[in-house]
Structure 1
Amino acid sequence: MSLPVATIKKLPPITKQCALVIAARVLTPHGGQFKCYSQKPDSCRIYGINTDQPCWYVYVPWEDGMLALRSSRVIVISRLTGKILFNGSAGDEG
């Protein structure tokens, strides 16, 4: 008795435009400018996420209305699945 051969369907990678749409869904409609990077910027110091897979690093505005000197907000999105791996401080203050 032979086992059936499994077929694996590859998903297309998440494009930069798709990453921006995913990030925009997280935010309320306050607007603001997004900056998207294909590699982790040198100033980005986030920990606790798996960066072995390719990701988009989307810098987005904080939504609390506070004007303060503080770290940037970054949303890290898997290029393979579109899953948000991190949403918070980029650790780049100072």
Structure 2
Amino acid sequence: MTFKLSALLLAGSMLVSAAAFAQSADDKKWVNQCLSDNKDAKVAASVVNTYCTCMNGKMSDNETRSITQWEKANPNARKACEQEAGWS
């Protein structure tokens, strides 16, 4: 039983690591800008991080606007990411 649990935890941590590396340097730049833009939000930093990552994922790789600029033109994406992040 302990071996199965250890194997499961190892597999889960590998998936999390792969997801973390999936972001390009450009993605990280935009997410960090979004985090900065929302630094005064009255929610947990993890909520803002989830929101910014979600919004970045919805944007085209060719987008030139910041997440903050893009969200204003895409209210449905904003609402979906707010819900996913638990931002109420």
TM-score, scaled relative to structure 2:
0.33
Where is the helix percentage greater, Structure 1 or Structure 2?
Answer: 2
Structure having the higher Rg: 1
